[in-house]
Structure 1
Amino acid sequence: MVIHKILNNNLILSRDGQGHEVIVKGCGIAFQKKKGQQVEESRIEKIFTAENAQISKEIQGYLTAIPEKYLDFVEAFVNDVKEKEGMKLNDSIYFSLSDHIMGAISRLENGIRLQNMLLLDIKQLYHKEYEIGLELLKKVNEMFEVDLSADEAGFFALHFVNAEDGGKTDSYQISIIVHQILDIVEKYYDNMEFQEDNLYYQRFLTHLKYFAQRFLHKELHYDENQELFKIIKEQYREAYGCVKMIYLMMEEEYKYAMTEDEMLYLTIHIQKITEDHKCLKNL
């Protein structure tokens, strides 16, 4: 592999077999080397592939600004997760997660703790990633001798969600939309408490997650079923009243008019949840 540019003693720019720009990391890989020279293959620890020139510059910025101890720690943890969980993660997670951990520790040292307002939603929507976040939190606290709170586990989880989706999904924005809709349902039904392990609730959460994802990426396509919608909104008037509140929120906050089909599915989901909730209360 030929050196195209030396970033520091441990980082170089090069190109792969297809001519794509790559960033190569290795201890002392560029020591006493010059542009145009070959690097020793045995010194290569990690090769980062950039999708385009802008991302390449961002990666270079991260790698040169973040201390090695954070990068090495995250690289080892992420690689272990990939192997154990079989997850395909975008290379961006090595930099974004390292930067986040460094920032969290810096904030803690200055007496600043960020509260994760979406922690409960993240735990419910991204259970596997949250468990990974908890494991990472434990290791960070042990490795760097700090006491980061569980809020950070939720933030860590979102890095894995984004990387798993190839960076396409804005998991934080999805969590916000889901939180807003759940908040409307809770208040509409007099602060009804959801049962997290309830099957209907889990199905509702899944529906909301993918609704938010499709909305954010302009992928909302439905077949209007006006006759069924008319029957359902008459039969489940209370649930439909709740859905109208959700409709108004989406229109006001996101300038989006929900389709009748989406309102139909939401009405059915909310009806099932509330019916089940009433049954449990009467037991």
Structure 2
Amino acid sequence: MQIKKVFNNNVVLTENRHGKEMVVMGKGLAFQRKVGEAVDHEQVEKTFVLENENVSDQLAELLADVPETYLAIAEQIISLAKEELGVKLDDYLYVALTDHLSFAIRRYEQGMSLQNTLAWEIRKYYRKEFAVALKALNIIEAETGHRLDEHEAASITLHLVNSQMSGEGLEEVVETVGIVNDMLNIVKYHFQMELDEDTLNYERFLTHLRFFAWRLVRKERLQYDADDDFLYQQVKKQYKEAFLCSEKIKKYVENKCEWSVSNDELIYLTVHIHRVASRHQLNKNHSE
């Protein structure tokens, strides 16, 4: 392997045998070394492959100001997330998470604690990612000696969620969480009930709302076939209460997001609402 770019004395960019850019880390690995020279394999402590070549420039800029220790911690967290979530994460997460960890640790050492106002919603709507973020706190503590709180786990969760969406706009994830929370509240108030968060129907419903909200934020409309008026009328007739509830969500979406909800979207929304609400009612009747 040849050095393609020097980030600092301990981190370089090279390529693997498949032509993929690879970040290689090791103490003194790049000390007095130049581009084009061979990488000393005996000094290599950690490596990871980049699919997106643009990320290497951003990493180089970041590592000019941030110790590579945080990149190593970020790499551990990302590897854990990939293993436990079983999803593809955007390479930009190496940059975003390294930068975030550096800032978070610096704040901690200065005695500053920032509250994540969406922590409760994040823990609730992104439970798998939040579970990984809690384990990330253990990694951070093992490497730095600092125990960050669950508000920090919520912030790490947002980065994991955003990375699955393949974007750099964390504010879009925050906006998505807020929209999902509002839509769930509309369902709760319409049916005057608390949703059972441990059911499969709830998870399906939550997944549908998350991606619906994400499309609203990104202004991405799915390409449906021509609206099926027969199915629309059938759903409207058979699932009356769920349909009324979905119409409330439609009005909310139109007012908040300036988005016209199609009949197809309304059908899917109604079916999911009916499923989660009817399951709740069935469980309630069994318990009485």
Range into which the TM-score falls when normalised by the shorter chain = 0.7 to 0.9
1:248 is the counterpart of 2:251: yes
Is 1:65 the equivalent of 2:65? yes
Matches within 5 A, 1:19-34: 23-34=23-34
Moved more, 62-71 or 87-96: 87-96
**What pairs with 1:73-84 in structure 2 (closer than 5 Å)?**
73-80=73-80, 82=82
1:220 to 209, 219, 222: 222
Equivalenced residue count is: 280
| Change beyond 3 A, Cα 1:206–1:81 | closer
Name structure 2 gaps, 5 residues minimum.
none
- Residues 103-252 of structure 1 mapped to structure 2, 5 A cutoff: 103-108=103-108, 109-117=110-118, 119-120=120-121, 122-141=122-141, 143-164=143-164, 166-167=166-167, 171-190=173-192, 192-215=193-216, 216=218, 218-223=220-225, 224-252=227-255
Residues 1:3 and 1:204: Cα distance change in structure 2 (over 3 Å) = closer
Q: Which residue of 2 aligns with 1:263?
A: 266
Asked if the contact 1:186/1:193 (under 8 Å) is kept, the reply is: yes
Cross-structure match for 2:102: 102
**Helix, strand or coil: the match of 1:133?**
helix
Q: Secondary structure at the match of 1:65?
A: coil
Give the corresponding residue for 2:280.
277
Q: How far is the alpha carbon of 1:260 from its aligned partner? A: 0.5
Secondary structure class of the residue paired with 1:7: strand
Normalised to the residue count of structure 1, the TM-score between the two structures is 0.80
Calculate percent identity across the aligned residue pairs. 34
Q: Deviations over 1:117-162 (max 9, x none)?
A: 1533x34443322211111123334543434222222222333334
The Cα shift of 1:82 comes to: 4.5
Cα offset for 1:13? 4.5
Deviations 1:217-241 (A, max 9, x none): 7251234221221233244333222
5+ unaligned residues in a row in structure 1: which ranges? Answer: none
How far, CA to CA, are the matches of 1:102 and 1:203 in structure 2? Answer: 36
Deviates more, 1:246-255 or 1:33-42: 33-42
Code of the residue aligned with 1:249 in structure 2: it is Y
| TM superposition shift of 1:261 | 1.4
TM-superposed CA distance for 1:263, in Å, is 0.7
What do the CA deviations read for 1:72-118 (whole angstroms, capped 9, x no partner)?
A: 23333443554576655444333322322222233333433222415
* 1:8 partner amino acid: N
Instruction: Measure, in 1, the Cα distance between the counterparts of 2:152 and 2:86.
Output: 23
Tell whether the 8 Å contact from 1:118 to 1:175 is kept in structure 2 after alignment: no
